[in-house]
Structure 1
Protein backbone atom coordinates (compact mmCIF):
# COMPACT_ATOMS: atom_id res chain seq x y z
CA UNK A 1 0.00 0.00 0.00
CA UNK A 2 1.33 3.35 -0.95
CA UNK A 3 1.11 6.16 1.58
CA UNK A 4 -0.22 8.69 -0.93
CA UNK A 5 -3.55 7.06 -1.78
CA UNK A 6 -6.77 6.46 0.09
CA UNK A 7 -7.69 2.96 1.18
CA UNK A 8 -10.92 1.24 0.26
CA UNK A 9 -13.41 0.04 2.88
CA UNK A 10 -12.46 -3.57 2.10
CA UNK A 11 -8.80 -2.81 2.78
CA UNK A 12 -9.73 -1.09 6.04
CA UNK A 13 -11.79 -4.10 7.12
CA UNK A 14 -8.92 -6.42 6.29
CA UNK A 15 -6.44 -4.31 8.28
CA UNK A 16 -8.81 -4.20 11.27
CA UNK A 17 -9.22 -7.97 11.13
CA UNK A 18 -5.44 -8.37 11.18
CA UNK A 19 -5.08 -6.02 14.15
CA UNK A 20 -7.83 -7.66 16.17
CA UNK A 21 -6.76 -11.19 15.31
CA UNK A 22 -3.25 -10.42 16.58
CA UNK A 23 -4.74 -9.58 19.98
CA UNK A 24 -5.79 -12.91 21.44
CA UNK A 25 -8.57 -11.60 23.65
CA UNK A 26 -10.02 -8.12 23.75
CA UNK A 27 -11.55 -7.73 27.16
CA UNK A 28 -13.75 -4.80 28.19
CA UNK A 29 -12.23 -4.78 31.67
CA UNK A 30 -8.70 -4.53 30.26
CA UNK A 31 -9.72 -1.75 27.86
CA UNK A 32 -11.32 0.27 30.68
CA UNK A 33 -8.33 -0.36 32.93
CA UNK A 34 -5.94 0.81 30.20
CA UNK A 35 -7.98 3.98 29.61
CA UNK A 36 -8.27 4.79 33.33
CA UNK A 37 -4.57 4.33 34.03
CA UNK A 38 -1.90 7.00 34.06
CA UNK A 39 -0.60 7.40 30.48
CA UNK A 40 2.98 8.12 31.54
CA UNK A 41 3.51 5.48 34.24
CA UNK A 42 0.51 3.11 34.31
CA UNK A 43 1.90 0.87 37.07
CA UNK A 44 3.61 1.50 40.40
CA UNK A 45 6.84 -0.13 41.51
CA UNK A 46 4.79 -2.89 43.17
CA UNK A 47 2.91 -3.59 39.94
CA UNK A 48 -0.37 -1.99 40.97
CA UNK A 49 -2.42 0.13 38.61
CA UNK A 50 -1.88 3.88 38.95
CA UNK A 51 -5.05 5.88 38.17
CA UNK A 52 -4.89 8.71 35.69
CA UNK A 53 -4.82 12.31 36.86
CA UNK A 54 -8.00 13.16 35.00
CA UNK A 55 -9.82 10.29 36.69
CA UNK A 56 -8.68 11.41 40.16
CA UNK A 57 -9.63 15.05 39.55
CA UNK A 58 -13.02 14.02 38.13
CA UNK A 59 -13.70 11.83 41.16
CA UNK A 60 -12.74 14.62 43.56
CA UNK A 61 -14.97 17.10 41.74
CA UNK A 62 -17.89 14.66 41.79
CA UNK A 63 -17.41 14.09 45.52
CA UNK A 64 -17.29 17.85 46.13
CA UNK A 65 -20.45 18.46 44.11
CA UNK A 66 -22.33 15.73 46.00
CA UNK A 67 -21.13 17.13 49.34
CA UNK A 68 -22.26 20.64 48.41
CA UNK A 69 -25.63 19.35 47.25
CA UNK A 70 -26.15 17.41 50.48
CA UNK A 71 -25.07 20.37 52.59
CA UNK A 72 -27.55 22.75 51.01
CA UNK A 73 -30.40 20.28 50.79
CA UNK A 74 -30.09 18.60 54.21
CA UNK A 75 -27.67 20.59 56.35
CA UNK A 76 -29.09 24.07 55.77
CA UNK A 77 -32.46 23.24 57.33
CA UNK A 78 -31.23 23.39 60.91
Structure 2
Protein backbone atom coordinates (compact mmCIF):
# COMPACT_ATOMS: atom_id res chain seq x y z
CA UNK A 1 0.00 0.00 0.00
CA UNK A 2 1.32 3.42 -0.78
CA UNK A 3 2.24 5.90 1.88
CA UNK A 4 -0.17 8.39 0.30
CA UNK A 5 -3.08 6.09 1.13
CA UNK A 6 -1.92 5.78 4.75
CA UNK A 7 -1.61 9.54 4.94
CA UNK A 8 -5.10 10.11 3.56
CA UNK A 9 -6.67 7.52 5.87
CA UNK A 10 -4.80 8.91 8.89
CA UNK A 11 -5.93 12.46 8.12
CA UNK A 12 -9.53 11.25 7.66
CA UNK A 13 -9.44 9.39 10.98
CA UNK A 14 -7.95 12.37 12.82
CA UNK A 15 -10.51 14.70 11.28
CA UNK A 16 -13.31 12.39 12.40
CA UNK A 17 -11.91 12.27 15.94
CA UNK A 18 -11.57 16.06 16.15
CA UNK A 19 -15.10 16.65 14.86
CA UNK A 20 -16.46 14.11 17.34
CA UNK A 21 -14.56 15.72 20.21
CA UNK A 22 -15.76 19.22 19.32
CA UNK A 23 -19.35 18.02 18.97
CA UNK A 24 -19.19 16.22 22.32
CA UNK A 25 -17.77 19.27 24.10
CA UNK A 26 -20.51 21.49 22.64
CA UNK A 27 -23.22 19.06 23.75
CA UNK A 28 -21.80 18.86 27.27
CA UNK A 29 -21.77 22.65 27.58
CA UNK A 30 -25.31 22.89 26.21
CA UNK A 31 -26.73 20.18 28.46
CA UNK A 32 -24.78 21.04 31.61
CA UNK A 33 -27.74 22.16 33.70
CA UNK A 34 -30.53 20.78 31.57
CA UNK A 35 -32.93 18.14 32.84
CA UNK A 36 -34.86 15.70 30.67
CA UNK A 37 -38.42 16.87 30.06
CA UNK A 38 -39.74 14.08 27.87
CA UNK A 39 -39.33 13.29 24.22
CA UNK A 40 -39.74 16.02 21.62
CA UNK A 41 -42.55 15.65 19.05
CA UNK A 42 -40.01 15.38 16.23
CA UNK A 43 -38.37 12.34 17.80
CA UNK A 44 -41.77 10.81 18.55
CA UNK A 45 -42.70 11.15 14.87
CA UNK A 46 -39.38 9.69 13.61
CA UNK A 47 -37.92 7.46 16.33
CA UNK A 48 -35.64 5.47 14.01
CA UNK A 49 -34.31 8.17 11.70
CA UNK A 50 -33.30 10.50 14.53
CA UNK A 51 -31.60 7.76 16.55
CA UNK A 52 -27.85 8.55 16.77
CA UNK A 53 -26.88 4.87 16.89
CA UNK A 54 -28.85 4.18 13.72
CA UNK A 55 -27.28 7.20 12.02
CA UNK A 56 -23.82 5.99 13.11
CA UNK A 57 -24.46 2.59 11.54
CA UNK A 58 -25.44 4.24 8.27
CA UNK A 59 -22.39 6.52 8.37
CA UNK A 60 -19.92 3.68 9.08
CA UNK A 61 -21.52 1.46 6.43
CA UNK A 62 -21.17 4.28 3.89
CA UNK A 63 -17.51 4.82 4.78
CA UNK A 64 -16.75 1.08 4.50
CA UNK A 65 -18.44 0.91 1.09
CA UNK A 66 -16.44 3.94 -0.06
CA UNK A 67 -13.17 2.35 1.11
CA UNK A 68 -14.00 -0.91 -0.68
CA UNK A 69 -14.92 1.03 -3.81
CA UNK A 70 -11.63 2.96 -3.60
CA UNK A 71 -9.59 -0.26 -3.32
CA UNK A 72 -11.54 -1.75 -6.20
CA UNK A 73 -10.73 1.21 -8.44
CA UNK A 74 -7.18 1.73 -7.19
CA UNK A 75 -6.02 -1.88 -7.45
CA UNK A 76 -8.39 -2.82 -10.29
CA UNK A 77 -9.58 -5.81 -8.29
CA UNK A 78 -12.84 -7.35 -9.57
CA UNK A 79 -15.24 -7.66 -6.64
Normalising by the residue count of structure 1, what TM-score does the alignment of the two structures yield? 0.37
TM-score, normalised on structure 2?
0.36
Point out which structure has higher relative CO (alpha carbons under 8 A, 6+ apart).
1
State the structure with more CA Rg: 1
**Quick check: which one's helix share is greater?**
2
